[in-house]
Structure 1
Amino acid sequence: MGRRTRQAHSDRMITLHIENTIADYDAWKAAFDRYDRARRDHHVLAYRISRPVDDPATVHIDLDFDTREDAAGFVQVLEKIWQTPLSGAVSSTHAAPELRTLEEMTPPNIRV
């Protein structure tokens, strides 16, 4: 998925941070990839997937949005996805993943 251009009215990006426990990364990633169009259709600008080095059963997903409204709207989409049989098959738990909405406080690509 490529990056989309951010809208000029916003200097800060909103990130929806998701932590999820999974059974198998490859199966989870294949399921995640099936929803690429849903991410595009709901204004996801970019995403990042990471895992703790000491916990391969956990994935962290960051989804970037221009606005809090777009992020909040996508939470509703995610809640529907998490109720699907496919989602249940690739998750280790049946609890909804943990969600946090983060606001970017520094310009992108600041390196020290």
Structure 2
Amino acid sequence: MAVLRIYLSVSDFDSWKENFDTDPMDRKGSGVIRYWVHRPIDEPNIALVDLELGSVEQAKAMQAKLQEFWASGRAPIVGTPRTQIAETVDTVELGG
């Protein structure tokens, strides 16, 4: 497993989320197993996204696809997003 972590600055979180929900990147078709969207409570125009993929290779392909999309100017973002790929080493659910 691999996680593609994305840090975005957006001009309007709700508009960005609406665009994200249309799935312009075909997440499932790109190998995304699950994802999380976070919004820092003290920075409402920041979006933090974790995409879980089956392999590092799939994560790299998705990263490239996203960078192309962001460069096209069609994404409602501000500045240059940051991304990082991490391999999953351990997962523990503590219940609750």
User: Same fold per TM (> 0.5)?
Assistant: yes
When the two chains are superposed, the root-mean-square deviation of aligned CA atoms in Å is 1.8
Q: Percent identity?
A: 25
Give the aligned partner of residue 38 of structure 1. 26
Aligned to 1:10: none
2:69 alignment counterpart: 81
Helix, strand or coil at the partner of 2:27: helix
Q: Higher strand proportion, which one?
A: 2
**TM-superposition CA deviations, 1:22-77 (whole Å, max 9, x none):** 01111101111222661111100011000111111111000001100000111111
1:58 matched to 2:42: no
Normalised TM-score (structure 2): 0.87
Runs of 4+ in 1 over 4 A off after TM superposition: none
Q: Which has the larger radius of gyration?
A: 1
TM-score after normalising by structure 1 = 0.76
Aligned residues: 96
* Separation in structure 1 between the aligned mates of residue 45 and residue 8 of structure 2, nearest angstrom: 8
